[in-house]
Amino acid sequence: MADFKPPYPTLEDLDNVSGSRAVIVRLIRKWEARNPRRGNILMSLDLLLLDEKDNLIKASINHRLIGKFKNNLHEGSILCIKDFDVGKTYERFKLSDHKYIIYFNHSTTINEVLEYAPEIGKTKFRISNYEKLLSIANTNEELPDVVGRIIFVLGSNL
């Protein structure tokens, strides 16, 4: 159990200068990142983390370290994550607007926050209008989800 009390460290306080780091976040999604070009080999366990100020960041755990952390990572739980590395985000298909990514290392610790837990949302949506979607089409900069209703398909009778 983490021993933080308000104010909590948030994702907006992160930088890529070395030093001791800690954040309080909700794990909203986790998935295995695999390389289909190399026999579907497991590369990492990737996470989406959300803080109380609605900041979203991606985190990644190298395949060699997954066993150390996997049993402590439950979607929906609020976690205190300490002593991790931070790097700039250079990915294609960005999943968050944060300029950094969190990398777990051998010194990283995770504890579920049960007392004094901040109020953190359970989801995060990036609402975009049609013009925004057109501007990022085929740029490989973002990977948006689109929710809508099909009202007409050329050549069919709906």
pLDDT digits (tens, 9 = 90+) for 27-66: 999 999 999 999 999 999 999 999 999 999 999 999 999 9
- Our count of domains for the chain comes to 1
Query: Residue 156: inside a domain, yes or no?
Result: no
Enter the tokens of residue 153.
């398909």
pLDDT at 31: 94
**CATH code where residue 44 lies:** 2.40.50.140
Distance (Å, whole) CA 86 – CA 18: 8
Q: Among all chains, which residue has been given the structure tokens 């289909």?
A: 36
Reported as a single tens digit per residue, the pLDDT across 73-127 is 999 999 999 999 998 887 666 677 788 999 999 999 999 988 878 788 787 766 7
Q: Which amino acid is at 13?
A: D
Enter the tokens of residue 131.
């013009």
The widest CA-to-CA distance across the chain, in whole angstroms, is: 62
Query: Residue 86: inside a domain, yes or no?
Result: yes
In the predicted model, is pLDDT for residue 152 greater than 90?
no
pLDDT at 92: 65
Residue 117 structural domain: 11-123
Query: Residue 1: inside a domain, yes or no?
Result: no
pLDDT at 1: 47
The whole-model pTM stands at: 0.76
